[in-house]
Amino acid sequence: MENGNPPQADGKDPSGFLSDIIGNNVTVKLNSGVVYKGELQSVDGYMNIALEKTEEHVNGVKRREYGDAFVRGNNVMYISADS
C-alpha cells in the first residue's frame, strides 16, 4: 500500500481525475452537509482542498464568500466537478 504515488495511468486510481479537474469549478460537500463551491486550486492525499472564489452554502442557501479557502480533508464527503 504505497502512499503519495505519482499520478500515472492504470486508469483506476483517482489521481488522474483530480489532475483533470484542477482549476475547474467544483462542489465540495462536507459530512456536515455544508457545501463549498469554488475554483479548485489543489488537493492532496488526505483530500485537503484549497479553493479560490469560494461560496459557502448551507441548506442550499448561500451564507458567505471567501477569496481563498482551505478545507481539511477529514471533513470532506466528496469533490464533484461542475461541468
Partner 1 sequence: MASQLLPLELIDKCVGSRIWVIMKGDKEFSGTLMGFDDYVRNHTKLPKILLNGNNICMLIPGGEGPEGA
**Residues at the interface with partner 1 (CB under 8 A):** 1-3, 11-15, 17-18, 21, 31, 47, 73-74, 76-83
Q: Which is nearer to partner 1, 15 or 41 (CB)?
A: 15
Cell of 80: 464533484
Q: Which is nearer to partner 1, 13 or 65 (CB)?
A: 13
For 41, residues 6+ apart whose C-beta sits below 8 A from its C-beta are 22, 23, 50, 51, 52
Q: Closest distance between partner 1 and the C-beta of residue 13, in Å?
A: 5
* Alpha helix stretches (DSSP H) within 35-81: none
